[in-house]
Amino acid sequence: MSITTTTHLNFRGDARQALEFYQSVFGGAVSIATYGDVGMPKDAPGTDRVVFGQLESEDGFRVMAYDILGASAGPTPGGSTRRENGVTLTDQPFFVSVRSTALEEAQTYWDKLSAGASVIEPLAASAWSRGFGMLTDGFGVTWILDVAADDHAG
């Protein structure tokens, strides 16, 4: 028996664009069904929005997304982030965590995800990892990228 978890992101009209952006970062295949595809009357507002979207890569990255029907356009509301005494404090409701086994791989993802992002903590060595960083992308999703501890000694 096994279990798999998948992060499911909720957007306000830009789920398709977010999935396409994440595909440019992680590779893989995007599958999308709109509200119209699943039977919503074609003349109803929002039929072109995503009711089921998924990105899945051969490397094991997977994320799901949909557009909240009836929600106003714009970034998905989240928490806030601030620095106090040199420490980053955040009350974001969730993070998407991507852990790599190699610093070079994490750096590649970081370089792509950071385009248009607000960097909270730059990707850099930490006490527990060869690389750790945190950013909020242009879609309002906060990401943590780090390198597994086994790679720390290398």
pLDDT confidence of residue 44 = 87
Check if the beta carbon of residue 126 is closer than 8 Å to that of residue 148: no
Q: Token pair for residue 88?
A: 């980053």
Q: What is the mean pLDDT of residues 98-114?
A: 95
Identical fold between 7-67 and 81-151: yes
pLDDT confidence of residue 82 = 63
Q: Is 133 helix (H, G, I), strand (E, B) or coil?
A: strand
8-state DSSP, 149: G
**Is residue 114 over pLDDT 50?**
yes
**Each residue's pLDDT tens digit, 2-12:** 667 799 999 98
Question: CATH says 81-151 is which class?
Answer: alpha beta
CATH T-level topology, domain 7-67 = 3.30.720
**Each residue's pLDDT tens digit, 14-72:** 999 999 999 999 999 999 999 999 888 888 888 999 999 999 999 999 999 999 887 77
Q: Which of 9, 26, 16, 14 is nearest to 111 (CA)?
A: 26
Per domain, the residue ranges of the chain are 7-67, 81-151
